[in-house]
Amino acid sequence: LPTRAGSSLEPEERSMEPPAVPEEEMPLTTASGPEGCQLFGYVGIEAVLDQMKIKTMKMGFEFNIMVVGQSGLGKSTMVNTLFKSKVSRKASQPGQEERIPKTVQLQSVTHVIEEKGVKMKLTVTDTPGFGDQINNENCWDPIIKYINEQYERYLREEILITRKRKIPDTRVHGCVYFVPPTGHWLRPLDLEFMRRLSKIVNVVPVIAKADTLTLEERAEFKQRIQEDLKTHAISVYPQEDFDQDPDDRALNDRIREKIPFAVVGADQEHQVNGKRVLGRKTKWGIIEVENPAHCEFPLLRDLLIRSHLQDLKDITHNVHYESYRVRRLNESNRP
């Protein structure tokens, strides 16, 4: 094991001679400098990846996503499109009349989704009433309170003397914020929400119902949003500060160039060139949601599920939850 510089153990360890080992008991590895060891034969270290995969498939994992935006921007449809199943709040309560609440009310729906033997406990949190009133002052407070409550719940389980082997994780791993397709600038409500929430959760902004904008309007609106975020020092996911190596930075830079994603959601299939595709049917044709030439939904899906799902969970645990934990423990230690 490496020791700290200046430790009194260093000279002793360097001066110690290795014990004599009989020739037949010589290990299959030999030191090749500070970078590591050169293997003389197959050891089987790579099998740990299979062990981790089998364990994850048996235990399953949790993923919690929050969708925020005004009514009518397609939040429920987008979640159903993401997971190709009826997992949204509306889908679980058919026949109920949708009324705009006077205040923001958070509603969570939990499902277990299984694909090729992998089980995922998915929790979708919707925020009906957000931004729908004439006076939207402090409408983000219930959302901040909910996110902090999930951190508090996890912290209380973590500091118990006798802890559970696996602490239930209800922390919000990603918050998808739906920007109305105005084609102009971000509203003060959008800026204030992302400024406050980006400090405690991974915020992914998207342009909702992007099929209402032309390609030129979409590109111009996206550029204006990027300028607004830069001007107001709002760091949305993936945050530049948390890139761990050059490969991550190169990948995330390409993603940051295209954020916010201009997305279109659809949960109905249509026939296109002999194939069944998810899309929205209009007088002028069918908008295919999984076609990169039509919208950027595939980029959002890849970010949230296929390439960065584990990273979303890691940043939630190691950054956002950690800062909350430090703050809470400092408060409790004060006289």
Question: What pairs with residue 280 in β-bridges?
Answer: 287
23 in any annotated domain: no
Of 92, 88, 168, the C-alpha closest to 127 is 88
Rounded to an integer, what distance in angstroms lies between the CA atom of residue 78 and that of residue 86? 10
Which CATH number does the domain housing residue 328 bear? 3.40.50.300
Q: How far is CA 170 from CA 96, 127, 153, 202, in A?
A: 27, 16, 8, 15
pLDDT at 234: 95
The answer to whether position 37 is within a domain reads: no
Q: Cβ of 31: how many Cβ atoms within 10 Å?
A: 9
For the chain, counts of helices (H) and of strands (E): 11, 11
Instruction: Please tell me the predicted confidence (pLDDT) of residue 290.
Output: 87
Measured CA to CA, the distance from residue 221 to residue 260 in angstroms comes to 10
Task: Return the pLDDT at 100.
Answer: 62
Low-confidence ranges of the chain (pLDDT < 70): 1-36, 90-103, 335
Number of domains in the chain: 1
Q: What is the pLDDT of residue 7?
A: 43
State the Rg of the chain over Cα.
25
Q: How many CA atoms lie within 13 A of 71 on its CB side?
A: 13
Tens digit of each residue's pLDDT (9 = 90 or more) over 127-158: 988 988 888 888 999 999 999 999 999 999 99
Q: Per the domain annotation, does 14 fall within a domain? A: no
- So what's the pLDDT on residue 60? 86
pLDDT in tens, 59-104: 889 999 999 999 889 898 899 889 888 887 765 555 555 666 666 8
Domain membership flag for residue 83: yes
Residue 38 phi, psi (nearest 5): -95, 120
Does 42 fall in a domain?
Answer: no
Question: Range of 202's domain?
Answer: 48-88+100-333
User: In 3D, which of 113, 119, 60 has the Cα closest to residue 83?
Assistant: 113
